[in-house]
Amino acid sequence: MAVLKYIKLTLPMMLASLTFYAPASVSADELDGAKIYQQHCASCHGEKLEGGIGSSFLNHIWNYGSHPQLIGMNIKFGIPNLEMPGFKEILNDEQIGTVVAYIVEQDAKSELAAPKVPDHIKTEHYNFKVDILADNIPSPWGIAFIDANKALITEQSGKLYLMLNGVVQKDVIKDTPNDIALGGQGGLLDVALDPDYGDNGWIYLSYSHGLGADGILSKAKVMTRVVRGRIRDGHWVDQQVIFQADEKFYSKSRGHFGSRFTFDEKGRLYFSVGDRRVPKQAQDLSRPNGKIHRINKDGTIPEDNPFVGRPGALPSIFTYGNRNPQGMATHPETGDIWSAEHGPMGGDELNHIRAGKNYGWPEITYGVNYNGTIISEFTAKAGMEQPIIHWTPSIAVADIDFYNNAILPKWQNNLLVSSLKYRDLRRLVIEGDKVTHREMILKGLGRIRSVTVSPSGAIYLLLEDPSLILRLTPES
C-alpha cells in the first residue's frame, strides 16, 4: 500500500517531468494511459503488461533507466540497439506521460507469481508427465544431447552447463569463450554436437563476439561467431574459430544474431545470422547478415555452395533475405532444412530452406514496423520465396525441432514450434510443403526459447520469464 500511495502522490511529477515541449490539446481518451498502452504498446509488451516480443513490465528491471523521464525518453526516441521504436511522431509528451504513469503504477501493484506448471498434460494422441528440472538458470538458450541421460545447456550470460540424468550440475564448464559481448539479444547462444561426436568429441557454440573497445565488451562492436571445441576434465579446450565475419561487418547493435544450428545428412553445418537490424543488408550477398550459411565442420566451404565463385558474394551463404531465424531443424526423413524466422510486428515465418533462394526480407513481408509504419507494400515478388506459413500477428516464433522417435509413431516427422510472445508449444503436421494440422500442446508457462527432442523421445523445453527447464515424458 505504501508503494501505491507513493505512485499516486508522484503521478503529477511524472507527467511534469516529461514536458519537453508544450503539448497539443487532446481529448480525455487520448490522455488515458491504459488506452494508449493497449493501442501502441500491448502488441509487443502484452495486453496485461506480461511481456511478449518485448519485456514484461511487471516486477520489471529497468535496464535503461527507471526514472519516469528516462522511461518517457525511451518511448519518445526509441532504444537504437533494441527493437524499441520511437513514438515521437505518433504521441505527444502529455500522452507519453500518461502511459508512463500507467506502466509504473501497474508495475508497482504487481506481485507477479510464477505460473503453476502442471504435473501432466493431455494432447490429441498422447499424455505426458511434466517435470521441472531447473528453475535457477536465468536465460537458458540451447541444449544438445550427448546421449539420453547427458546434455549440454548454454546460458546467455556465457555459461555452459552439463546436465546428468535430469540434474543440471552446479559446476559450469570452465574456460568457455571470454570475448562474449552481452546485452540485448546477445550472449552465448546455440550449442550442437558434431554428428561424429563419439569419434571426435567436437562441440559447436555460437555467440555474440565483441571486438575492440579496449576489452570492454559492453561497448564493443559485435557480430555472430561460431567456434568448436572439446570438453576435457570440465574445461573447454582445443577451440577453433570456424566462422568469423570480417571486422567491417561488426556493429554496435545488440540484436538479430540468429545463431541456430543444424547439420545435414552429409555432416555440413548450417547456421543463421540475423540482419543485425539493418534490413536492406539481408539482400546484399557481400554481407553475412540476414543469411543462412553452410560450411563444412572444420569451417571450410562446400564446393557446391550456391554462391561459390560469384564475384562479390560470400561463399558461405546458403540462402538470403532472412530477417532473424532463431529456429532451424533437419527433416528426419527427407534431410531438408527448415527454419523459423522472426518477423517484425506480424509476419513470423516457417520456411523450407533451399540452396540459393531469396526469402524476401525486407522486399516482401507480411509484417509492419513496431510503430505501425509500412516496411513494404508487397507480400510477394517474382524470384522471392513464400513462407510455408506465416504468423500474423507474430507469435515471436523461436526454436523448432522435428519429432523423430519410435515411441510416438503418430507424431513422427511432426514439427514442434516454440513461441516467445504467446508462451506456447505447438505441433504442426507437415505433408510436403503444406501444414495440414496444428495442435496447441502447452500454453502460458513462460517464453519458450528452445524445444528439443531427446534420444529417449522426451521433449525438453528451455523457458525464460520465468526461467525453467522442463521435460515432457510420454506416458504409456
| pLDDT at site 363 | 98
Residue 46 cell numbers, joined: 502484452
Pairing between strand 203-211 and 221-232?
antiparallel
Q: Average of pLDDT values for 170-181?
A: 96
Q: Average of pLDDT values for 126-148?
A: 97
Whether pLDDT at 24 is above 80: no
Whether pLDDT at 122 is above 50: yes
Whether pLDDT at 1 is above 90: no
Entry pTM? 0.84
**pLDDT, tens digit, 9 for 90 and up, residues 421-457:** 889 999 999 999 999 999 999 998 989 999 999 999 9
More confident residue, 77 or 367: 367
Where is average pLDDT lowest: 144-148, 283-287, 472-476?
472-476
Whether pLDDT at 280 is above 80: yes
| pLDDT at site 31 | 77
More confident residue, 246 or 39: 246
Whether pLDDT at 341 is above 50: yes
3-state secondary structure the chain: CHHHHHHHHHHHHHHHHCCCCCCCCCCCHHHCHHHHHHHHCHHHHCCCCCCCCCCCCCCCCCCCCCCHHHHHHHHHHCECCCCECCCCCCCCHHHHHHHHHHHHHHHHHCCCCCCCCCCEEECCCCEEEEEEEECCCCCEEEEEEEECCEEEEEECCCEEEEEECCEECCCCCECCCCCECCECCECEEEEEECCCHHHHCCEEEEEEEEECHHHCHHHCEEEEEEEEEEEECCEEEEEEEEEECCHHHCECCCCCCCCCEEECCCCCEEEEECCCCCHHHHHCCCCCCCEEEEECCCCCCCCCCCCCCCCCCCCCEEEECCCCEEEEEECCCCCCEEEEECCCECCEEEEEECCCCECCCCCCCCCECCCCCCCCCCCCCCCCCCCCEEECCCCCEEEEEECCCCCCHHHCCCEEEEECCCCEEEEEEEECCEEEEEEEEEECCCEEEEEEECCCCCEEEEEECCCEEEEEEECC
Whether pLDDT at 411 is above 90: yes
| pLDDT at site 471 | 98
CA 153 from centroid of its chain's CA atoms: 16
| pLDDT at site 11 | 44
More confident residue, 60 or 15: 60
Whether pLDDT at 20 is above 60: no
Q: Which domains does the chain have, with CATH numbers?
A: 2-109 (1.10.760.10), 120-474 (2.120.10.30)
Catalytic residue, candidates 45, 256, 331, 352: 256
Whether pLDDT at 10 is above 50: no
Where is average pLDDT lowest: 63-77, 132-146, 436-450?
63-77
**pLDDT, tens digit, 9 for 90 and up, residues 184-242:** 899 999 999 999 999 999 999 999 999 976 667 878 999 999 999 999 999 999 999 99
pLDDT, the chain, mean: 90
| pLDDT at site 2 | 36
Q: Is the peptide bond before 387 cis (omega within 30 degrees of 0)?
A: no
| pLDDT at site 371 | 81
| pLDDT at site 61 | 59
**Could you give the percent of the chain with pLDDT greater than 90?**
71
Q: Average of pLDDT values for 152-178?
A: 97
pLDDT tier, 3 (very low <50, low <70, confident <90, very high otherwise): very low
Where is average pLDDT lowest: 89-98, 120-129, 147-156, 332-341?
89-98
Residue 437 is among the residues annotated as catalytic for this protein: no
Whether pLDDT at 322 is above 90: yes
